[in-house]
């Protein structure tokens, strides 16, 4: 999994199955998963990130984006599926297990963002919400924003029914695959199209070819594993320390 390789100053990473579940639970929640918290700390150390410098979203499949500063480091933000910042020394994190992590970077101003994009978030235009925060709150020009769509469930495995399909009817010709009487939705393609719509340049968008469902030994997949307790990877972006 290599993203943003042309930007060595930046760290953009996703944990793997070998790192254990890195699911975030809000502190104070009685069911907070201490094993997952330890896994998050270990993964942070592995990638050279101070655990205390990470700010995470407590995801709700919505389209709320938080603009954070250094003082938010260490926090878990309730009801937030995307985070952007212009602060140095703070790392942004969301968790995924089929949903896409979409990394954003404006190398001109040094603004970064990370968005949790499942079909629900995409249907609520979460990418528009995130780029709007970078543009309106942090001053980024859309043509300067780089985007990397990370590992997530591919069109090969994301079979959908009408309830999901009807939310993406406008992408019918561009992000749908019919095969064997089944219909599959291409979430990465939809994310790509939404980025283009917000003025991100084609040449500034990269997409991981990795499907979390296909790569059984590498990634957790909610669809494939149907776990009783959700197991997730953590995605992280920030400037290398
Ligand atoms: Zn697949």
pLDDT tens digits along 28-67: 554 567 889 999 999 999 999 999 999 999 989 999 999 9
Residue 156 has pLDDT above 50, yes or no: yes
Centroid of ligand 1 to alpha carbon of 138 (angstroms):
36
Instruction: Specify the higher pLDDT residue, 150 or 2.
Output: 150
Indicate if the pLDDT at residue 27 is higher than 90: no
CA 215–ligand 1 middle distance (angstroms)? 7
Give 212 Cα–ligand 1 centroid separation in angstroms.
7
- CA of 124 from ligand 1 middle (Å) equals 24
Predicted pLDDT of residue 228? 85
Would you place residue 103 in the very low, low, confident or very high pLDDT band (cuts 50, 70, 90)?
Answer: very high
- The pLDDT score that the predictor gives to residue 106 is 98
Per-residue pLDDT tens over the stretch 168-217: 999 989 999 999 999 999 999 999 999 999 999 999 999 999 999 999 99
Question: How high is the mean pLDDT of the chain?
Answer: 94
Cα 34 to ligand 1 centre (Å) = 31
Which pTM was predicted?
Answer: 0.96
- One-letter-per-residue 3-state SS of the chain: CCCCCCCCCEEEEECCHHHCCCCCCCCCCCCCCHHHHHHHHHHHHHCCCCHHHEEEEECCCCCCEEEECHHHCCCEEECCCEEEECCCCCEEEEEECCCEEEEEEECCCCEEEEEEECHHHHHCCHHHHHHHHHHHHCCCCHHHCEEEECCECCCCCCECCHHHHHHHHHHCCCCEEEECCEEEECHHHHHHHHHHHCCCCHHHEEECCCECCCCCCCCCCHHHHCCCCCCCEEEEEEECC
What pLDDT is attached to residue 30? Answer: 44
Dist. CA 176 → ligand 1 center (Å): 14
Residue 230: per-residue pLDDT: 87
């Amino acid at each position: 999994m290599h993203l943003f390789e042309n930007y060595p100053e930046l760290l953009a990473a996703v944990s793997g199955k070998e790192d254990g579940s890195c699911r975030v639970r809000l502190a104070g929640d009685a069911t907070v998963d201490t094993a997952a918290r330890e896994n998050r700390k270990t993964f942070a150390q592995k990638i050279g990130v101070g655990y205390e410098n990470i700010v995470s979203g407590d995801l709700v499949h919505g389209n709320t984006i938080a603009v954070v500063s250094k003082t938010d480091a260490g926090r878990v933000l309730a009801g937030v599926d995307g985070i952007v910042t212009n602060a140095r020394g703070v790392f942004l994190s969301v968790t995924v297990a089929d949903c896409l992590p979409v990394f954003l970077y404006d190398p001109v101003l040094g603004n970064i963002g990370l968005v949790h994009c499942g079909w629900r978030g995409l249907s609520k235009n979460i990418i528009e919400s995130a780029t709007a925060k970078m543009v309106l709150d942090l001053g980024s020009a859309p043509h300067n924003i780089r985007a990397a769509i990370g590992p997530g469930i591919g069109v090969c495995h994301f079979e959908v029914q009408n309830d999901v399909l009807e939310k993406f009817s406008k992408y019918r010709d561009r992000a749908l695959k019919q095969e064997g009487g089944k219909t599959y939705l291409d979430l990465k393609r939809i994310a790509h199209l939404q980025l283009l719509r917000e003025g991100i340049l084609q040449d500034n968008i990269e997409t991981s070819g990795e499907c979390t469902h296909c790569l059984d030994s590498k990634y957790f997949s909610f669809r494939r594993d149907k776990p009783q307790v959700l197991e997730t990877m953590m995605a992280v972006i920030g400037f290398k320390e």
